[in-house]
Chains A and B, each alone.
Chain A
Amino acid sequence: MAGNFIYSTRDHKFIIKEWLDVEKILGLKKFRDYYSKEDVDGILDQALTVCREMVAPSNDDGDIIGAKFNGGRVALPPSFHKAYQYVQANGWGSGHKDIDGEGILPGLLYGAVHEYMIAANPAFVAYVGLAGGIAGIIKAFGTREQVDLFTPKMFEGTWGGTMCLTEPGGGSDVGDMLSKAYPTGEPGIYRIRGTKCFITAGDHDLTENIIHLVLARIEGAAPGTKGLSLFIVPKIWVNPDGSLGEANDVATVGIEDKMGLKGSATAVLSFGEENQCRGILLGSPPDENGFGQGMAQMFKMINGARVDTGHCALAVAAVAYHNALQYAKERVQGRRITEPKGQRVPIVEHEDVRRMLLTQKAVLEAGRAMVFKAYYYLDLIAFSEDPDEVKEASRRLEVITPLIKAYCSDQAWELIALAIQVYGGYGYTEEYPVARQARDSKIYSIWEGTNYIQSMDLVGRKWRLENGAVFKEWLEEIGFFLEKHKGHETLAREFAILAEAFAAYQGLVKLVVRYFMDDIRLVPLYSTRILKATAELYCGYLLLDQALAAEAKLNQGPEDEVFYRGKIHTAQFYLRNIVPEVIATAKLIQEADTSALEMPLEAF
């Protein structure tokens, strides 16, 4: 009951076929011979069916039974096994992360498939995503032998994968980690010692082996993140002929009892308790300054995982929205404010319920617009043959990655709160899915770098890349858009609001750049709010651009009129109700308020 997977493919079809330039992506050499625009509907529809019928049934088991730790091993419910086998065997799984894979879907399409899978069971997707994602890192940085030995089995899902950064003493500050690697007689092989915690999919019984990617410091390397190296550490050693050898001294100490995502095993792993744990160095050993390659390599994974985290948050919140909408149409309570003696009406007729529902729809579609922009850029980066195109896509992606991660995950929590509110008291019970969605979604603002870390990535790093050139180009895209549609008639009010927000935001940037010099403490005080305003500005632009696409469709004929009108209303709502927050934030930051710092600790 509680799972209740309700979803739609319509917005994805709009984004892929009617908004972004899918022909450009499908025209890339990698995809040209495999896919055409006509295939999009069929693939998305089938993917949704598969996720509904094969993956969603595992959602209740994930939450109610969860991952179980017993005798040093982790077991997952049988329905997870069934879904995992099915997804991997039928071409919907980890293999799409293999850039050399034959017939893989472009990210733009697989992104939609992935969203349905997350929505169907958010605790399940990490097992699929990590296997392919980790293999992708090994492929990018490994030797021919390493790639051949590990990646095929991971792309087909026979072996799982993990990313092991976090330690009890090294969370947000990864550089403080204590895990160590000691050279052995064998070149490239190190003895690994250390404890990693919070490792997603760190142990489970879906696959016969798990390939951990472990960050550790080689003896004598530099302190901080610069000195870290990355190691392939199989749970069970893999012999040179590909057969499985002995257990590799990786012990599962336990798994966390969590607020949500209970079907996703979050493990504490102890490497080298018996001093027998062997790791294979990825790339080169630290240079003469003691600088390793580990953090840069891991960041290839982390950047993708940040987009993915935003997408996960969005998908979970979207299921909550679809459920709240259905409930609001059925629940009869109260009368219209204009007809106090009239018939009782479904709550969807009430103004405030409408506001809550449209807030959800608007922010979800805004987030989805950003996420699919990212997939579009990622496809170009991976597969375009035009270096200028690749460069531009990479620069854009740099800026929007922290926006996607933090805005989508912060908003998901608030949107799900609205979904619960729509249900009233019933939303607070576990009989309906929204309470679970709230529990499941909270993690997304925390892992892959907390949202504060994202905000500092934006303000402290992305703003300053190449002396601000990258960020300036990104801002100019919005400026050009405003310029191009100056004097637009039907959406004049929305364009005016966006223009005002754009001007206010530029003022905000100038001011904050000054704060860097005058009182740098103001920057972290305001950074999360700056990130939010940045995302709201960008989302306002994207939704308005979508409204233009919808308007064009309406001008072509009555087909699917309700949907396109809905897109325009959604954009209007977002521009009129949310984008003005950019202007308010810009004003608020001028206050340069430091009360949170001035207050003595004892007064808290």
Chain B
Amino acid sequence: MNIVVLIKQTFDTEAKIQLTGDGKVNDQGVNLIMNPYDEFAVEEAIRIKEAKGGEVTIVSLGGDKAQEAVRQALAMGADKAVLVNDPALEGADHYVVAKVLAKVLEGMEYDLILTGWVAIDDQSSQVPGRLAEVLGLPQANVVTKLEVEDGKVVCHREGDGSVEVLEVPLPAVVTAQKGLNEPRYPSLKGIMQAKKKELKKVSLGDLGLPAEEAKAKVVGYQLPEARQAGKVVEGEPAETVSQLIEFLTKEAKVI
């Protein structure tokens, strides 16, 4: 069974987001990681491969640094990778990304496409759905348990106190949620083997795609307002209580 896993490199969950003077996100000195939900997808793909054979291919779209995330997936046990890296893709929106990924997948043989249900940076959850649409494939989202059967997958989705079980014919797009598995860390051997695995870098030209206009453009970013220091009411208890009540009713308007 051949599986394609789509991964994205994102900021570390613990990174402190700062903006540059011109309102862009400052990536200087920020630790980059594989999107944690994509890690579940990679792990699941490797487990299916280990159980049933086949090949796991990583596909990612990103800059030079995204190689590190791709290598990590290879070090975990994926077999090969394609990284779409093109300066024209700077500012690409989900529409463009989905189209480019679809093009990469066009030339590949696969039974299943796995990816994380959301990327922790832009949190849009759009790419998998759009990609399934472009490829004309069924899709199951936010999956916490996955079983591969003949020609189909059985996907569990957790609702409020309930589980929804879907049967989806293959090929399909399935997105991973926390709980699907516990991703492994690459072993030292895995890291060293990853060096020798194929990592194909392709540009839009290689894919035969024109640079396409994004449908959505980011105008600018703003940080949330910094939290204000708390107010300390000082004085005798009787006084402070009435001050506090006044504050709560008039200023904070909570009572």
Interface residues of A (CB under 8 A from B): 34-35, 39, 42-43, 46, 49-50, 53-54, 89-92, 103, 105, 560, 562
Q: Is A54 a contact partner of B188 (Cβ separation < 8 A)?
A: no
B186 at the interface (CB under 8 A from A): yes
* B interface: dominant SS: helix
Q: B191 contacts the other chain (Cβ, under 8 Å)?
A: yes
B29 contacts A90, C-beta separation under 8 Å: no
Residues of B within 8 A of A34 (CB): 192
Q: How distant is the Cα of A199 from the Cα of B189 in the complex, in angstroms?
A: 33
**How would residues 175 to 219 of chain B score, 1 for a CB under 8 Å from any chain A CB and 0 otherwise?**
000000000011111011001000000000000000000000000
The total of Cβ contacts below 8 Å across the A-B interface reads 37
25 CB contacts below 8 A, A to B, read: A34-B192, A35-B192, A39-B192, A42-B68, A42-B71, A42-B75, A42-B191, A46-B72, A46-B185, A46-B186, A46-B188, A46-B191, A49-B185, A50-B185, A53-B185, A54-B185, A89-B187, A90-B188, A90-B189, A91-B189, A92-B187, A103-B188, A105-B188, A560-B29, A562-B29
Given known pairs A39-B195, A560-B29, A562-B29, the reply for A46 and B75 (CB within 8 Å) is yes
Number of interface residues of B (CB under 8 A): 13
Q: Report the bound CA distance from A42 to B68 in whole Å.
A: 8
Instruction: Mark B residues whose CB is within 8 Å of A.
Output: 29, 68, 71-72, 75, 185-189, 191-192, 195
> Measured between C-beta atoms, what is the minimum distance from B139 to chain A in Å?
31
Is chain A's interface secondary structure helix, strand, loop, or mixed overall? helix
| A residues near B68, Cβ cutoff 8 Å | 42
Contact yes or no, B188 A92, CB < 8 A: yes
Set of chain B residues within 8 Å of A50, measured between Cβ atoms: 185
**Cα(A579)–Cα(B36), bound, Å:** 47
Most chain-B Cβ atoms within 10 A of its Cβ — which of A42, A43, A89? A42
A35 CA / B195 CA spacing, docked (Å): 10
Contact at B191–A43, with CB atoms within 8 Å?
yes
The reply to whether B188 and A43 form a contact with Cβ atoms under 8 Å apart is yes
**Complex: how many Å from CA A562 to CA B30?**
13
A90–B188 CA distance with the chains assembled, in angstroms = 6
Q: Report the separation of the CA atoms of residues A580 and B226 in the bound assembly, to the nearest whole angstrom.
A: 45
Q: Is the CB of B185 within 8 A of A103?
A: no
Apart from A35-B192, A43-B191, 6 more pairs, CB < 8 Å: A42-B75, A46-B75, A46-B188, A46-B191, A91-B188, A103-B189
Max chain A Cβ within 10 angstroms of own Cβ: one of B71, B188, B191, B192? B188
Complex contacts, A35 vs chain B, CB 8 Å: 192
Residues of B within 8 A of A92 (CB): 187-188
Asked, given contacts A42-B68, A46-B75, whether A90 binds B195 with beta carbons under 8 Å apart, the answer is no
> Top 8 A-B pairs ranked by shortest CB distance?
A91-B188, A90-B187, A91-B187, A50-B185, A91-B189, A46-B186, A42-B191, A49-B185
Q: Can you name the residue of chain A whose Cβ is closest to the Cβ of B186?
A: A46
Interface centre among B29, B68, B72, B191 (most CB of A within 10 A): B191
- Cβ of A53: which chain B residues have Cβ within 8 Å of it? 185
Distance in Å: Cβ of B226 to nearest Cβ of chain A? 14
Assembled-state Cα–Cα distance A42/B75 (Å): 10
For residue B33, give the distance in angstroms from its CB to the closest CB of chain A.
9
Chain B residues positioned under 8 Å from A49 (CB to CB): 185
- Report the bound CA distance from A34 to B68 in whole Å: 19
Q: How far is the CA of A54 from the CA of B187 in the complex (A)?
A: 12
Tell me, in angstroms, the Cα distance from A34 to B189 when the chains sit together: 11
Which residues of the partner chain B approach A54 to less than 8 Å between Cβ atoms? 185
Chain A contacts for B72, CB-based, 8 A? 46
Q: Which residues of A contact B185 (CB under 8 A)?
A: 46, 49-50, 53-54, 90
- On whether the beta carbons of A103 and B192 are closer than 8 Å, the reply is yes
A130 to chain B, nearest CB (A): 20
Chain B: minimal CB distance from A93 (Å): 9
Closest to A91 in B: B188
Residues of chain B lying within 8 A (CB to CB) of residue A560: 29
In whole angstroms, what is the CA distance A105 to B68 when docked?
A: 20
In whole Å, how far is B31's beta carbon from the nearest beta carbon of chain A?
9
The answer for the CA separation of A90 and B192 in the assembled complex, in Å, is 12
Nearest chain A CB to B184 CB, angstrom units? 8
Residues of A within 8 A of B187 (CB): 89-92
A560 to B75 alpha-carbon distance, docked (Å): 27
Contacts of A89 in B (CB 8 A): 187
With both chains docked as a complex, state the minimum distance between the C-beta of A537 and any C-beta of chain B, in angstroms. 34
Chain B residue with the shortest CB-CB distance to A49: B185
A91, A92, A562 — most chain B CB neighbours (10 Å): A91
With a CB–CB cut-off of 8 A, which chain A residues contact B29? 560, 562
How many angstroms between the C-alpha atoms of A91 and B188 in the bound complex? 5
With a cutoff of 8 Å between Cβ atoms, the chain B residues found around residue A43 in the complex are 188, 191
Q: How far is the CA of A43 from the CA of B191 in the complex (A)?
A: 7
CB distance from A567 to the nearest CB of B (A): 15
Q: Which A residues are in CB contact (< 8 Å) with B186?
A: 46
Specify which chain A residues have a CB less than 8 angstroms from the CB of B191 in the assembled complex: 39, 42-43, 46
Chain B, residue nearest A38 (CB):
B195
* B contact residues around A90 at 8 Å (CB): 185, 187-189
| Across-interface contacts of A562 in B (CB, < 8 A) | 29
- Report the bound CA distance from A135 to B187 in whole Å: 23
